[in-house]
Amino acid sequence: MNYISDALNRVQPSATVGISQKARAMKNTGKDIIVLSAGEPDFDTPQNVKDAAKKAIDENQTKYTNVGGIIELREAIAAKFKRDNNLDISPDNCFVSTGGKQIIFNAMLATLNKGDEVIIPTPYWVSYPEVVRLCDAKPVFISTDETSNFKLSPTALKAAITPKTKWLMLNSPSNPSGSVYTKDELKALAEILKQYPNILILSDDIYEQLIYDGFTFSTMAQAAPELGERILTMNGLSKSHAMTGWRIGYCAGPSFLIKAMAKLQSQSTSATCSIAQWAAVEALNGEQDFLDEWREIFAKRRNMLVNGLNKIEGFDCLKPSGAFYVFPSIKPFIGKTSKGGQKITSDEDFVFALLEENDVALVHGSAFGIDNHIRISYAASQDSLSEALKRIEQFCIDLH
Ligand SMILES: Cc1ncc(COP(=O)(O)O)c(C=O)c1O
Percent of the chain residues topping a pLDDT of 70: 100
Q: How many domains does the chain have?
A: 2
Q: What is the pLDDT of residue 232?
A: 98
- Shared domain for 280 and 302, answered yes or no, is no
Instruction: Decide which of 285, 311, 343 is a domain's last residue.
Output: 285
Sign of the torsion formed by the C-alpha atoms of 93, 258, 96 and 320: negative
In a domain, residue 49? The reply is: no
**In angstroms, what is the span from residue 342 Cα to ligand 1's centroid?**
33
Asked whether residue 306 falls in the same domain as residue 362, the answer is yes
Q: Which distant-in-sequence residues (6+ apart) come within 8 Å of 223 by Cβ?
A: 183, 186, 187, 190
- 61 touches ligand 1 (CB under 6 Å): no
Q: Is the pLDDT of residue 158 over 90?
A: yes
Range of the domain at 97: 64-285
Looking at the fold, whether 203 and 339 belong to one and the same domain comes out as no
Distances (CA, A) of 249 to 228, 279, 335, 363: 20, 13, 42, 24
Determine, yes or no, domain membership for 59.
no
Answer whether residue 58 is part of any domain: no
Task: Tell me the CATH number at 379.
Answer: 3.90.1150.10
Instruction: Name the residue of 14, 77, 95, 101 whose CB sits within 8 Å of the most ligand 1 atoms, as the mutation to test its pocket.
Output: 101
Report if residue 55 sits inside a domain. no
pLDDT recorded at residue 1: 81
The answer as to whether 95 is a domain residue is: yes
Interstrand relation of 34-35 and 360-361 (parallel, antiparallel or unpaired): parallel
Assess whether 184 and 235 both reside in one domain: yes
Q: If you measure from the C-alpha of residue 111 to the centroid of ligand 1, how many angstroms do you get, rounded to a whole number?
A: 20
Average model confidence (pLDDT) across the chain = 96
pLDDT (tens digit per residue) in 315-326: 999 999 999 999
Asked if 217 and 339 sit in the same domain, the reply is no
Over residues 211-231, mean pLDDT: 96
How far apart, in whole angstroms, are the C-alpha atoms of residue 245 and residue 237?
Answer: 10
Answer yes or no: is 262 within a domain: yes
Q: Are residues 137 and 271 in the same domain?
A: yes
255-297 pLDDT, tens digit per residue, is: 999 999 999 999 999 999 999 999 999 999 999 999 999 999 9
Share of the chain above pLDDT 90, in %: 96
97 in contact with ligand 1, CB cutoff 6 A? no
Q: 258, 285, 312 — which closes off a domain?
A: 285
Q: Considering Cα of 231, then 283, then 101, then 207, what sign does the dihedral take?
A: positive
pLDDT of residue 21: 85
> How far is C-alpha 128 from the geometric centre of its chain's CA atoms?
10
User: Which are the contacts of 16, defined by CB distance < 8 A and separation ≥ 6?
Assistant: 37, 39, 126, 363, 367
- What atom of ligand 1 comes closest to residue 244's alpha carbon? 10
- Please, which pLDDT band fits residue 135 given cuts at 50, 70 and 90? very high
Residue 166 pLDDT: 98
Is pLDDT at 126 greater than 90 in this prediction?
Answer: yes
Is the CB of 238 within 6 Å of ligand 1? yes
Contact 344, 298 (CB under 8 A): no
pLDDT bucket at 12, cuts 50 / 70 / 90: confident
Decide if 207 contacts 217 (C-beta within 8 A): no
Q: What local confidence, expressed as pLDDT, does residue 19 receive?
A: 85
Rounded Cα gap, residues 66 and 10, in angstroms: 33
**Are 362 and 305 in the same domain?**
yes
Domain annotation covers residue 202? yes
Ligand 1 touching residue 178 (CB < 6 A): no
Segment 190-203, tens digit of pLDDT: 999 999 999 999 99
Q: How far is the CA of 317 from the centre of ligand 1 (A)?
A: 24
Residue 171 Cβ contacting ligand 1 at under 6 Å: yes
pLDDT score for 20: 81
Residue 1 is assigned to a structural domain of this protein: no
Report pLDDT for 302: 98
Q: How many A from CA of 100 to the centre of ligand 1?
A: 6
Q: Does residue 153 line the site of ligand 1, with CB under 6 A?
A: no
Check whether 70 has a pLDDT greater than 80: yes
> Is the CB of 322 within 6 Å of ligand 1?
no
Between the CA of 103 and the centroid of ligand 1 the distance, in Å, is 10
User: So what's the pLDDT on residue 14?
Assistant: 76
Give residue-wise pLDDT tens across range 363-395. Answer: 999 999 999 999 999 999 999 999 999 999 999
Looking from the CA of residue 236, the nearest atom of ligand 1 is 11
Residues 15 and 128 in one domain: no
Whether residue 32 is found in the same domain as residue 87: no
Is pTM beyond 0.95 here?
yes
Among the three residues 241, 263, 285, which one is the final residue of a domain in this structure?
285
Q: What is the CATH number for 155? A: 3.40.640.10
Q: Are residues 304 and 208 in the same domain?
A: no
25 and 80 in a common domain? no
Tens digit of each residue's pLDDT (9 = 90 or more) over 337-347: 999 999 999 99
Ligand 1 atom closest to residue 98's alpha carbon, by position in its atom list: 9
Same domain, 36 and 185: no
Residue having the nearest C-alpha atom to atom 14 of ligand 1: 39
